[in-house]
Chains A and B, each alone.
Chain A
Amino acid sequence: MSETPILTLENVSKRFIRRLDAAEKLVNVFGADRREQVVHAVDDVSIAVKQGEVVGLVGESGCGKSTLGRVVAGIHAPSEGRLLWRGQDVESASAELQRDARLKVQMIFQDPMSSLNPRMRVRDIVGEAPRVHGLVSGAGVKDYVDDMLLRVGLDPSFRDRYPHQFSGGQRQRVGIARALAVKPEFLVCDESVAALDVSIQAQVLNLFMDLRTDLGLTYLFISHDLGVVEHLSDRVVIMYLGRVVETAPTDELFREANHPYTKALLAEVPRIDTRKRKFQPVKGEIPSPLDPPPGCHFHPRCPFAFERCKREAPALKEIAPGRHSACHLNDGG
């Protein structure tokens, strides 16, 4: 890996803290035991994404993958750790550089209805940011918006419509046009096709891949749908309760997963050759992120768990070139 990664996360954590209010502080004085509630949505995650790569981020709901995506897109600031854009720390950069780096990373959201402002016309939704940032002159906005709409496969005559006048797939395309309008190099897709019909999903996924070749985009593709991730990604990152448990090139991961959690996930992907068997969800519930189990977060559900798993959190170690896994089993027990 000689070239600088386009985007690097270094030991990034994101905590959400619900502080005590005055009444709770008061009852504590009288001996009640109210504590601050802390959710480690993202816990010490390091990822490097290379230029032009598509990284799939997979996990159950509530594992922190959306939060991680928002940290990458600059919507949430990390509680700890650093976000590097082309090797440069975003937080300590000058305001101008910071703004540019933020604009280079754009997000495509899950719900195409709530991600578009219902009171704005498409031409304002798409054209506002480039005009504010001076990417295009006031007179050129209309043509610019038309270009963007064409690029995502929408008829430019739609520019005067409101979001509610579109179908789900069209709305998602408007959201993509809005992101593309600030000339990003990196797209974070947060469950971007989960809310769409399967046939529309395919169209939107193909659009993503066309844009990748046309514009040289890099993707962080967040999904719980392993089929979609297998189809799109060069590399897969598996998250469980805020931590990365395994990362590997896609084909290797799907051929031979290392981490017990990944194995459990992969066993449940519907396939033609497994269609006769009954599907079993991964045993047990995902634990509450308010009170994660000690040691390895996965040990209460892991069929191979042993004593050490309850005490010590496994580190993410390189198990083969380009492959990392966080499991004590790799240390030979």
Chain B
Amino acid sequence: MAVTDAGKTSPIEAAPLPAPPAEAPLKRFLSDFADSRLALGAALLLAAIMIVAFLAPVIAPQDPYDLATVSVLDARLPPGTENFAGYTHWLGTDGAGRDLLSAILYGLRISISVGLASGVIALFVGMAVGLVAAYVGGRTEGLIMRVVDLQLSFPAVLVALILLAILGKGIDKIVIALVVAQWAYYARTVRASALVERRREYVEAAQSLGLSHARIIFRHILPNCLAPLIVVGTVQTAHAIALEATLSFLGVGLPQTEPSLGLLIANGFEYMISGKYWISVFPGLALLLTIVSINMVGDQLRDVLNPRLQK
């Protein structure tokens, strides 16, 4: 038996590994992410869209909500037309005479804010519910997951439509509707990874160290479930933006006074047949670019964060 013959051990094991610098994981993550030129381009585009959207009040040529500067006489001007005030509408004007470029910038700001707010709230709600379900198990878990199944068996648009029909219009109401329509995705994702993590021995170790359940769930299990959550978060945020545009297009989302992209598209829809394409098409393009770039960033995040897909 080698064990019985082995001599006394030296207190410090030889050959400590060279300690890599602390920022190494982040650096590797960034370089992995930049492996795909397309994803890098999408990320830059997304950053640009976010910046112009949130700087809309500063950089937009016109305040589309200020009735003093908006004139009905300028209505439905094609792109590139100069108005009476000597100002050029590069993307034309809409049916109410608003500068379309300005309206799109303001619309983007609303669309992205609604998408982010509902995405973040739904993430926290779904995350908490999913973690508790996985950790507690038993009947509680069964009940929660059946609710999730039920919720996911309805199309998200339908759930949101029903809710908005009850709640009425307004930014806060559409955020609530989007959260209700989407929390279940997060709950299911986080539960799947938390189920794996809670069987690990480090959770048993934490229990035997007398740490509280809340501490074990949020400090020990949660950090190990974050990667899939981030990926689902990006994709679902894009989804929320599209969903909000759909609802606004259908006329149940935001009020006319706070036009998001969906509402702009809807407003221009009636002029499509008469050849005034720009009122719908440009807001549509803005929406498309935003959603596609978020989705591409999300896809690349999934590839980078999933160790099984790494070479």
Contact = CB atoms under 8 A, between A and B. Distances in A.
A123 interface: no
Contact of A109 (B1, B9, B11, B204): B204
Interface residues of A, number: 54
A116 interface: yes
Q: Which has the most chain B C-beta neighbours within 10 Å: A103, A119, A169, A231?
A: A119
A21 B220 CA distance: 30
A99 B209 CA distance: 9
A53 interface: no
B12 interface: yes
A169 B13 contact: yes
A110 interface: yes
Nearest to A107: B208
Interface stretch (B15-23, B35-43, B109-117, B169-177): B15-23
A154 B12 contact: yes
Interface string A42-69: 0000000000000000000000000000
A262 to B, nearest CB: 18
Interface string B45-74: 000000000000000000000000000000
A228 B10 CA distance: 20
Contacts of A110: 201
B84 to A, nearest CB: 62
B309 interface: no
Contacts of B202: 114-117
Contacts of A166: 17
Interface string B130-151: 0000000000001000000000
Contacts of A207: 9
Contacts of B26: none
B208 A202 contact: no
Nearest to A272: B1
Interface residues of B, number: 34
Nearest to A72: B208
A99 B12 CA distance: 33
Given A70-B204, A114-B201, A206-B6, A165 B209 contact: no
B210 interface: yes
A161 B19 contact: yes
B19 A165 contact: yes
B165 to A, nearest CB: 33
A145 interface: no
Q: Which has the most chain A C-beta neighbours within 10 Å: B4, B201, B223?
A: B201
Contacts of B200: 114-115
Q: Which has the most chain A C-beta neighbours within 10 Å: B13, B206, B207?
A: B13
Interface stretch (A31-39, A126-134, A247-255): A126-134
B8 A111 contact: no
A167 interface: yes
B224 interface: yes
Contacts of A202: 2-3, 6, 9
A203 interface: yes
21 contacts: A21-B142, A75-B204, A99-B210, A103-B210, A106-B208, A115-B204, A116-B205, A117-B220, A119-B224, A120-B223, A132-B210, A153-B10, A158-B16, A160-B22, A169-B13, A170-B13, A198-B2, A202-B9, A206-B6, A227-B3, A227-B4
Given A74-B208, A102-B208, A160-B22, 19 more contacts: A109-B201, A114-B200, A115-B204, A118-B224, A119-B223, A128-B219, A132-B211, A132-B212, A153-B11, A165-B20, A170-B13, A173-B13, A175-B205, A198-B3, A202-B6, A202-B9, A203-B6, A228-B3, A231-B3
Interface of A: 21, 70, 73-75, 99, 102-103, 105-107, 109-111, 114-120, 128-129, 132-133, 150, 153-155, 158, 160-161, 165-167, 169-170, 173, 175, 178-179, 182, 198-199, 201-203, 205-207, 227-228, 231, 270
Q: Which 6 A-B pairs have the closest CB atoms?
A: A202-B6, A203-B9, A115-B201, A129-B209, A119-B223, A227-B1
